[in-house]
Amino acid sequence: MDTRKLNRRQAVALLGGAAALGAAGPAFGQAEPAKPAQLVVNHSGGSMGTAMRKAFFNGFEKKYGIKVVETSPVDFGKLRAMVDSGNVEWDLTEIGGQDAIRAGKANLLDKVDPKVVDRSKYPATAQNPFVFASSVYTTIIGYRTDVFKGGTQPKSWADWWDVKKFPGARSMRNHPTDNLEFALIADGVPKDKLYPIDFDRAFKKLDQIKPHVTVWWSTGQQPAQLLLDKEVVLATGWNGRFYDIIKKGAPVEIEWNEGALKQGSFAIPRGAKSPYWANKMLAELAIPQQQAVYASELGYPGLNLESLNFVDAKVKPYLPTNYLDKQFWISDEWYAENGTKAAELWNAWMLKKA
Amino acid sequence: MFSSRSGFWPALPALILLLVFFLFPVVRMLGFSVEAGTLDWYAKALGEGLYLRVLWNTFEIALLVTLFCLLLGYPLGFLMATTTPFWATMGFIFVLLPLWTSVLVRTYAWMVLLGRNGVFNRMLMEAGITSDPIPLLHNFTGVLIGMVHVLLPYMVLPIYGAVRKVDPAIPAAAAGLGASNWRIFWRVWMPLTLNGVFAGCVLVFVLSLGFYITPALLGGGRVIMIAVLIEQQVREALNWPFAAALSAVLLAATFAVYTLAQRFTQPETAR
C-alpha cells in the first residue's frame, strides 16, 4: 500500500484509531483529558495569592484557557472532611509541611505525576511523591536597626538568650515548632543533632527566655507589626513578612544565622475533579523564571535552584536560599510523628506560671 | 390544645432547620467522641490537668466579662430606655455600630490603642501621670477590655427591652409613696428587669466561652481558652474524637452553669 495516497476508507479507519487512542486517556502520548472550565487552587490568600496570580495563574490561564479560581485559607481539617465525604472542591491545595506528610500517609492525596511535573532540578529532600515543594521560607530574627546599630544585633540563638548583652522586649511564635529547636541550639546542641528533640532540655532553656518574651505571636503579620510599632525590638518571624516591611522602608533588618527552614507545599487532594490539570499547574509552579517572579514579590524562593539565576541582584540578599548553609531544616517527618505531643507540652508550659 | 397547635405550626420551618442543621450535626459530633466504644477521650479531657485548667480559665474569663458587661451595660440600657428619643437613637447608633464591624478589625484597633507606644500610654505619659508605659496589652487586662467591648451590645439590648416594658406608673407610685431612689431601683426596677438581665448575662457568658481570636491576639499568647485547644485538635492534630469530647465537656459545663443561673433568678420573675 502506498502510504502517501490513502483512500477514503483507510483515512477514516486511521482517524477512528486516533480518536480511540485519545479516549483512552493521557497514558497514550499527547492526548489530554478534556479541559475543565475552571481549576480551583486553595492557598493562604493575602499577598501570597496576589503574587501567585502574577507569577503563575495569569500565565496558566493564557496558555490553557482554563480559569483559575482561588480559595483560602489553608485548612487541613477541611481537606480531610472533603476527601472523607467525597465532595472535593479543590483541585490543588497548599498544605503545611508536616501536614502534607501525614496527609500522604492517611491516603488523602494523589501522587504528583512525574511525567507532567519535572522536578529533576530539585534537591532530593524536596521530591516526596505526594508533595510538591513550591517555596522555601524560614523563621529568623528580625530586629530594629535604630536599636541595634551597625551590626550589634544578636547573631545566634545563644545571643538571643543573652538578655544582658542584648536587652529589650522580644516576641516569639506561640508554637513549639522553631522554638524547641532554637532553645536547643542556644543550649549548645549542634544544628544537625536536633532530632529527636529532647523536650526536657528544650523547655528548661525556654524557661529562661519566657519572662523576656512580651508577645507570643499567633499570626504571621504580628511580628512585623510589633517591630513597626516598636512594641518589641526583637522578633522571630517568617522572612517574607520582614522583607515586606523592609521593602516599604521600615527600620528593620534580618539576621539569617541559624534560621529554621521549611518548605511551602502544594498537593492534589484524592478525588480532585481535574487531577491532570492540577499536575499541569504544578508544572507551571516549577518553571524557574516564574519562581523568580514570585520570589521577588514575596521573598519566598522556589526550590528549583535554577530560579536564583533569574532574580534581581537587589532581591537576592533577602532570599533564604541564599543562606542555606547558615540555617537548618525543620524535620517535617519528626513533627508528623510528634507534633501532637509537642503541642500539648507547649500549652502546658505556656500555662505554667513563670 | 388548639391554641398550642396553632402556635406550633408557624414555628415548624424553624424547628426543622434547627433539627437538620444544628441538632443533627451536634449529635454526630458527640458520636465521634465515643466512636471507639470507650470513654478514653473523656478520661483524657477530664484527667489531664491541662484541659481542666484551661476550661476553668475559660469560665473565669467568661464570668468576669459578663460581670463587666453588666456593670457597664445596665446603666447604658437603662439610660437609653428612659431618655429622650433623640438620645436613645444616638445610644443605639453607638451600641450597634461596632456590632457591624469585624471582630478582627476591632481587635487590631485595640492593639493600636493599648500598646506600649499606643494612644492611651502616650497620653498618660505626656500628661505626666506615669513615666513608664502601663501594660494594658498582651495580658489578661487586654483580653478583658477587648472582649467586653465586643460583647457589650448583647447585654445592653435585652436590658433596654426589659426597661421599656416596665409601666412607668409603678416606679412613679413607689416615689409617690415616699421610697428613696435607691429603694425604687432595688425593689421596683431590678425585679421587673431581671428577665432582661438574665437574658443578657446568658448571651454574653455563652458567647464568651467560644471566644478565640480576641484572646489570641490581645492576650499575647498567655491567655488560653478552651476554643483554642479544640481548634488545635480539629485542624492541627486531626484528632476529631478528642475535639468532640472536649466540646461535649464544654457543652455540659455550659448547661450546668445555665441551669444554676436560672435557679437563682427565675423564681423571682415567674411568680
pLDDT tens for each residue of A153-188: 999 999 999 999 999 999 999 999 999 999 999 999
Residue-level pLDDT at A18: 46
Q: Within an 8 Å CB–CB cutoff, is residue A80 touching chain B?
A: yes
Label each residue of chain B as H, E or C: CHHHHHHHHHHHHHHHHHHHHHHHHHHHHHHHHCCCCCCHHHHHHHHCHHHHHHHHHHHHHHHHHHHHHHHHHHHHHHHHHHCCHHHHHHHHHHHHHHHCCCHHHHHHHHHHHHCCCCHHHHHHHHCCCCCCCCCCCCCHHHHHHHHHHHHHHHHHHHHHHHHHHCCCHHHHHHHHCCCCHHHHHHHHHHHHHHHHHHHHHHHHHHHHHCCCHHHHHHCCCCCCCHHHHHHHHHHHCCCHHHHHHHHHHHHHHHHHHHHHHHHHHHHHHHC
Considering only CB atoms, B216 lies closest to which of A80, A218, A347, namely A218
Nearest alpha-carbon partner for A327 in A128, A173, A137: A137
Q: Report whether pLDDT(A276) > 90.
A: yes
Residue bearing cell 437609653: B80
Residue-level pLDDT at B78: 93
Considering only CB atoms, A215 lies closest to which of B49, B138, B237, namely B138
Q: Report whether pLDDT(B45) > 60.
A: yes
Give me the mean pLDDT over the B11-39 stretch. 89
pLDDT tens for each residue of A317-342: 999 988 988 999 999 889 988 998 99
The nearest CA of chain B is from the CA of A343 a distance in Å of: 9
The nearest CA of chain B is from the CA of A274 a distance in Å of: 25
Considering only CB atoms, A351 lies closest to which of B50, B115, B137, namely B50
C-alpha to C-alpha distances, A62 to A284, B113, B198, nearest whole angstrom: 12, 47, 61
Q: Report whether pLDDT(B170) > 70.
A: yes
Contacts with B242 from chain A: Cβ below 8 Å:
none
Residue of A nearest to B54 (CA): A351
Contact between A231 and B115 using a beta-carbon 8 Å cutoff: yes
Contact between A222 and B116 using a beta-carbon 8 Å cutoff: no
Residue-level pLDDT at A23: 44
Considering only CB atoms, B117 lies closest to which of A174, A229, A350, namely A229
β pairing state of A38-42 and A67-71: parallel
Residue-level pLDDT at B271: 41
Residue-level pLDDT at A351: 87
pLDDT tens for each residue of A113-151: 999 998 888 877 788 899 999 999 999 999 999 999 989
Give me the mean pLDDT over the A266-278 stretch. 96
CATH classification for the domain delimited by A138-261+326-351, as one of 3.40.190.10, 3.30.420.270, 3.30.750.24, 3.40.50.2000? 3.40.190.10
* Residue extents of the structural domains in chain B: 1-33, 41-270
The nearest CA of chain B is from the CA of A74 a distance in Å of: 10
Contact between B50 and A340 using a beta-carbon 8 Å cutoff: no
Contacts with B137 from chain A: Cβ below 8 Å:
231
Which amino acid type is present at position A331?
Answer: S
Residues with Cβ < 8 Å from B75, sequence gap 6 or more? Answer: none
Q: What is the pTM of this model?
A: 0.81
Q: Which of A215, A219, A225 to mutate to test the interface with B (most CBs of B within 10 A)?
A: A215
* A36-136+264-310 against A138-261+326-351: fold identical: yes
A203 close to A345: Cβ distance less than 8 angstroms: yes
Q: What is the percent of chain A with per-residue pLDDT over 90, rounded to a whole number?
A: 69
Q: Report whether pLDDT(A296) > 60.
A: yes
3-state secondary structure of B118: coil
Residue of A nearest to B114 (CA): A231
Q: Which of residues 91-150 of B touch A (CB under 8 A)?
A: 111-112, 115-118, 137-138
The CATH number of B41-270 is: 1.10.3720.10
Q: Within an 8 Å CB–CB cutoff, is residue B270 touching chain A?
A: no
Q: Report whether pLDDT(A266) > 50.
A: yes
Residue of B nearest to A348 (CA): B50
Q: How many CB pairs under 8 A join A and B?
A: 63
3-state secondary structure of B200: helix
N- to C-terminal Cα separation, chain A: 91
Residue of A nearest to B218 (CA): A215
Contact between A347 and B138 using a beta-carbon 8 Å cutoff: no
Residue-level pLDDT at A19: 46
Contact between B238 and A339 using a beta-carbon 8 Å cutoff: no
Q: Report whether pLDDT(A200) > 70.
A: yes
Contacts with A178 from chain B: Cβ below 8 Å:
none
Give me the mean pLDDT over the A31-50 stretch. 89
B55 close to B250: Cβ distance less than 8 angstroms: yes
Lowest-confidence range among A72-76, A214-218, A349-353?
Answer: A349-353
Contacts with A343 from chain B: Cβ below 8 Å:
232, 236-237
Q: Which of A241-245, A257-261, B164-168 has the highest mean pLDDT?
A: A257-261
Residue-level pLDDT at B98: 82
Residue of B nearest to A349 (CA): B50
Nearest alpha-carbon partner for A213 in A230, A196, A233: A233
pLDDT tens for each residue of B63-119: 999 999 999 999 999 999 999 999 999 999 988 888 888 888 888 889 889 988 888
3-state secondary structure of A140: strand
- How far apart (Å, rounded) are the C-alpha atoms in residues A237 and A254? 10
Q: Report whether pLDDT(A105) > 80.
A: yes
Lowest-confidence range among A61-75, A233-247, B103-117?
Answer: B103-117
A26 pLDDT band, cuts 50/70/90, is very low
Residue-level pLDDT at B17: 92
Contact between A230 and B220 using a beta-carbon 8 Å cutoff: no
Q: Report whether pLDDT(A97) > 90.
A: no
B143 close to B68: Cβ distance less than 8 angstroms: no
Considering only CB atoms, B217 lies closest to which of A106, A218, A351, namely A218
Q: Which of B53, B103, B116, B134 to mutate to test the interface with A (most CBs of A within 10 A)?
A: B116
Residue-level pLDDT at B268: 52
Q: Within an 8 Å CB–CB cutoff, is residue A331 touching chain B?
A: no
pLDDT tens for each residue of B208-255: 998 888 888 898 888 889 998 998 888 888 888 999 999 999 999 999
Q: What is the percent of chain A with per-residue pLDDT over 70, rounded to a whole number?
A: 91
Considering only CB atoms, B221 lies closest to which of A218, A229, A340, namely A218
Contacts with A75 from chain B: Cβ below 8 Å:
235
CATH superfamily of A36-136+264-310: Periplasmic binding protein-like II (3.40.190.10)
Considering only CB atoms, B238 lies closest to which of A76, A169, A218, namely A76
Q: Report whether pLDDT(A22) > 60.
A: no
Nearest alpha-carbon partner for A288 in A118, A130, A124: A118
Considering only CB atoms, B238 lies closest to which of A77, A347, A350, namely A77
Give me the mean pLDDT over the A31-54 stretch. 90
Residue-level pLDDT at A29: 47
Residue-level pLDDT at A62: 96
For chain B, give the mean pLDDT: 88
B5 pLDDT band, cuts 50/70/90, is low
* Residue extents of the structural domains in chain A: 36-136+264-310, 138-261+326-351
Residue-level pLDDT at A20: 45
- How far apart (Å, rounded) are the C-alpha atoms in residues B107 and A105? 39
The nearest CA of chain A is from the CA of B216 a distance in Å of: 7
